[in-house]
Structure 1
């Protein structure tokens, strides 16, 4: 067992999750770095060794769409460390397409990973976080604030996550648990590469939407060419993890702040939180 603070982070095989795991360990936290495919742990373990934090990083299997996997992982964490001080919901998957060309199964799959996975993991962790007076930090997206073309399923899920967390935050605060969402913009990571998009096939199947899809793909490639690094995007997660009272909503860059400002005048979520806290007092 350890007296160090313990954080569980989902989706740490690459990108923001990997960078957040290393950042949390460097900040002195015992870091439970989870992933669905344990065969992808090598990159994370190598980074932990290179940053001299391997002694603070434990890799465990957790599949956010499998409640038994979530429960088994949390049981192990509590058995080994006796407490859990923070949860970082990071696991996610992109889904590109418009609804007329996408199947309902594809849409549901995106919702399962990006929304219900967050709900299930948060629900399972909350009793432990309540005992520790801990916090929930969830990586959403600027796509959880501004709907984006050909991202209907992904943005729907991220909008749902934002609504879920914004509603949960004042309730969780009454039992000592802080809730924060972190909104990255474009991040240069394997997230986009993992889409494995067959662009010619997508365009061929897009029918009347092909010109719009082609323009969207070109714009997306350009935006990810000038993206934040995973470490840059993960830095606000570590700030939220280690800060005294993190705000409800954090953007990871000035670009992200400017982008969500098109629909959010209340950038840090304080006005909404001030209002809804009065509903539970």
Structure 2
């Protein structure tokens, strides 16, 4: 029976919730964190459904609040003394066109998706280094490798996580701590709900980018039927959590590997033409 401990951030919904269940089913003790502890209903109902409620411990954690992180780290250190897996999943997707996105929105995006990941990881690095083992799994995205118009806050944050994770993996390799990136494509989660709220400005009639944003929205909507089941990603994360020597990157989802390869191989001007033509052919400007 697995006696390892995993910390997962952002578990009130989406990948975080399903991953927590998958890890618990494999025998991990899962410390499932969320900013608002009152939003634990869906997680606990799902845990009860699979008979793993005894393996899941819900903790409040705001990844943008240093005091919250320190309190959480102290509690885990006191109660468990170690963690084997850290899964940095908490995040949201900001959208809109650069000209119309406030600096405050960019900072909010980076506070959660980048600085939150860094701060939580730093809180547990000393513990993992002393253990001489552990695995840090960071939820990136295809957006960390391939950019797209109208989503610059999110895409910039994921590009940052990609580079930061590479550095961290090289730093921690001599100490037995592995760092892994998961790069999902489009899945049926609620990550875009916040982003659509931010993008409202670009959808207004007075916006210079309204037609362009409508094309993007239409393109995304037409592809929604092909979005993957997030369980696929959760199972992959749980699989990686049990590996002794995981790879650096795991692209996952329909067309993800092909998109990354094509972007790297094609001249930029040709790649640019393909993206724009797809948007406006389906978007119908």
* TM-score (structure 2 length as normaliser): 0.88
**1:253 offset after TM fit, Å?**
2.3
CA deviation profile, 1:6-52 (whole Å, cap 9, x unmatched)? 01000000010101100111111100000001111010011111111
**C-alpha contact 2:95 2:196 (8 A) present in aligned 1:** no
Query: Could you tell me how far apart the structure 1 residues matched to 2:130 and 2:264 are?
Result: 33
**C-alpha contact 2:100 2:202 (8 A) present in aligned 1:** no
Task: Give 1:168-207 correspondences, 5 Å limit.
Answer: 168-195=168-195, 197=197, 202-204=202-204, 207=207
* CA gap 1:15/1:206 in 2 versus in 1, 3 angstroms: farther
| Structure 2 counterpart SS, 1:135 | strand
* CA gap 1:42/1:196 in 2 versus in 1, 3 angstroms: farther
Runs (5+) with no aligned partner, structure 2: 266-285
**1:111 offset after TM fit, Å?**
1.0
* CA gap 1:199/1:264 in 2 versus in 1, 3 angstroms: closer
**C-alpha contact 2:180 2:246 (8 A) present in aligned 1:** yes
Tell me the matched-pair count.
Answer: 264
Cα root mean square deviation, aligned: 1.9
**C-alpha contact 2:97 2:199 (8 A) present in aligned 1:** no
| Structure 1 counterpart SS, 2:33 | strand
**C-alpha contact 1:101 1:205 (8 A) present in aligned 2:** no
Query: Could you tell me how far apart the structure 2 residues matched to 1:129 and 1:254 are?
Result: 34
Query: Could you tell me how far apart the structure 1 residues matched to 2:187 and 2:83 are?
Result: 28
Q: Which moved more, 1:187-196 or 1:11-20?
A: 187-196
**1:254 offset after TM fit, Å?**
4.4
Residue 86 (structure 2) pairs with residue 87 (structure 1): yes
Residue 39 (structure 2) pairs with residue 40 (structure 1): yes
**1:257 offset after TM fit, Å?**
1.5
Residue 161 (structure 2) pairs with residue 153 (structure 1): no
**C-alpha contact 1:86 1:129 (8 A) present in aligned 2:** no
**1:90 offset after TM fit, Å?**
0.2
**C-alpha contact 1:139 1:181 (8 A) present in aligned 2:** yes
| Structure 1 counterpart SS, 2:238 | helix
Runs (5+) with no aligned partner, structure 1: 266-281
**1:86 offset after TM fit, Å?**
1.2
* TM-score (structure 1 length as normaliser): 0.89
